[in-house]
Chains A and B, each alone.
Chain A
């Protein structure tokens, strides 16, 4: 079975500061990993995905994540936070098997102060 752990339910940064949201996964087979962002009362928007190609993945809005198998991690980073980055972020895992659903972490709320 697969699972995802997001360390830190709430992260606060200042505008312009580095954003680091942590995600560790557990999977018995090679995983596919995703980061989604959710704004209040809205659906999910895909930020980036790892599907066994390059381990450093670049996404939208300046976000990137690095897949580290030895650490079973897929942390999300952004060099400089913007006020508009304040939202809920979810890490999710899936496997290459037809019909399987994404399994989500508990989410991390990112707050950005001016």
Chain B
């Protein structure tokens, strides 16, 4: 199946700093990517839908100024957590749909563990 990578896999930062997480589709072009957030022992909550060449669509309750999403190419979407605080510590997972797949399956990255001190 298609492969989605994320970088970094783990990041620790100080409160008030910004952190950028990259999501790449390695062997297919993804016009749409999705960003999820997962708290310990909880489900994945959709944060936003990232559209190549246009603004991201954020879910209700997600601060767009805090979680900046850029989808500059068909294989790369980035999530920047600005002015991070300890409550932003979480597991962030991206996914992408391979439009040529025809099965509506989303391929998930391995996730990024963010810890804000």
Contacts and interface: CB of A to CB of B under 8 A. Distances in A.
Contacts of A41: 91, 111, 113
Interface residues of B, number: 24
Interface range, A side: 20 to 34
Contacts, number: 51
A73 B1 CA distance: 27
B111 A51 contact: no
Contact of B108 (A44, A49, A51, A96): A44
Nearest to A102: B106
B84 interface: no
Contacts of A94: 104, 106
Contacts of B95: 101-102
Given A41-B113, A49-B103, A98-B32, A107 B42 contact: yes
Nearest to A44: B108
B34 A101 contact: yes
A101 B93 contact: no
Nearest to A109: B41
7 contacts: A41-B113, A43-B93, A49-B103, A96-B104, A104-B43, A105-B43, A106-B42
Interface of B: 1, 32, 34, 36, 41-46, 49, 51, 91, 93, 95, 103-106, 108-111, 113
